C-alpha cells in the first residue's frame, strides 16, 4: 500500500521538503490533530525534528505541521487488523509504539509495514470524536497498550482502558475524508 511521493508534492512546508519520501495518500485518509483532553495538549514532534526515534511529546495545541497527522488506512500484514499509519506533516515520519515510548520512525521504507506502525482507533464516544489509539502489534511489549499522556510525554499505557482519561484522544478529522 505504501507508494512513494515527494513531500513537496503534498504541499508540505520547508521542513517536510527535506524528507525524501512520504506514504501516498489513500482513499479513506484524513488529516487531524491528536488531542488529549486530560493533558490539554496535542501529540507533537518537537521542533519538527526529522530524527528517527525522537520521542513524541504532548505540547500546547497550535495546529502547526508538528501537530498535524495524515491517517492513512493500513492492514497489519501479520494479523489482519485494520488501522492507520499516522504520518506527521512536519517530519514526514510515522508515530510508532516503541517499547515504552511513542516515537517517530520511517514508515516509507518498511516493506511490509511493521505492526508497531499501525494504530487502531477504538471508539470511546464517536459522537464527540473520542477514541483510544492502540497499536495493532500484539507482541509482549505492546499487547493492549494504548497511547496515553504522561507528564509532557506520550507513552503506551499498561493496558487499554476507556475509563482512563489519560488514554482518551480526540481525533477531530475523522470522517472528513480530507487528506
Q: What is the pLDDT of residues 55-67, one digit of tens each?
A: 999 999 998 999 9
Domain that includes residue 131, residue range: 4-17+29-171
Cis-peptide into 112, omega within 30 deg? yes
Look at the chain and report how many structural domains it folds into: 1
- Beta bridge mates, 130: 125, 170
Reported as a single tens digit per residue, the pLDDT across 18-49 is 333 445 566 789 999 999 999 899 999 999 99
pLDDT value, residue 143: 55
Distance of CA 19 to the CA centre of its chain: 17
Is 144 within the bounds of a domain? yes
Per the domain annotation, does 23 fall within a domain? no
C-alpha radius of gyration, the chain, whole number = 15
CATH number for the domain spanning 164: value is 2.80.10.50
pLDDT at 91 over 80: yes
| DSSP 8-state class, residue 43 | E
**Single pTM value for the model:** 0.80
The answer to whether 51 touches 10, Cβ cutoff 8 Å, is: no
Tell me, yes or no, whether 177 lies in a domain. no
> In the predicted model, what is the mean pLDDT of the chain?
78
CA 129-157-126 angle, 5° bins: 10
Amino acid at each position: 500500500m505504501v507508494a512513494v511521493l515527494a513531500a513537496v508534492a503534498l504541499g508540505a512546508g520547508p521542513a517536510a521538503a527535506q524528507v525524501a519520501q512520504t506514504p501516498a495518500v489513500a482513499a479513506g485518509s484524513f488529516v487531524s490533530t491528536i488531542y488529549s483532553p486530560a493533558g490539554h495538549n496535542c501529540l507533537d514532534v518537537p521542533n519538527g525534528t526529522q530524527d528517527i526515534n525522537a520521542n513524541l511529546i504532548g505540547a500546547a495545541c497550535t495546529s502547526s505541521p508538528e501537530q498535524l497527522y495524515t491517517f492513512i488506512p493500513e492492514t497489519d500484514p501479520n494479523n489482519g487488523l485494520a488501522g492507520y499509519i499516522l504520518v506527521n506533516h512536519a517530519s514526514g515520519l510515522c508515530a510508532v509504539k516503541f517499547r515504552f515510548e511513542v516515537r517517530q520512525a520511517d514508515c516509507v521504507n518498511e516493506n511490509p509495514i511493521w505492526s508497531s506502525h499501525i494504530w487502531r482507533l477504538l471508539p470511546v464516544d464517536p459522537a464527540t470524536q473520542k477514541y483510544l489509539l492502540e497499536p495493532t502489534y500484539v507482541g509482549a511489549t505492546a499487547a493492549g497498550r494504548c497511547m496515553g499522556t504522561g507528564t509532557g510525554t506520550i507513552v503506551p499505557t499498561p493496558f487499554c482502558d476507556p475509563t482512563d482519561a489519560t488514554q482518551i484522544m480526540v481525533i477531530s478529522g475523522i470522517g472528513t475524508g480530507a487528506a
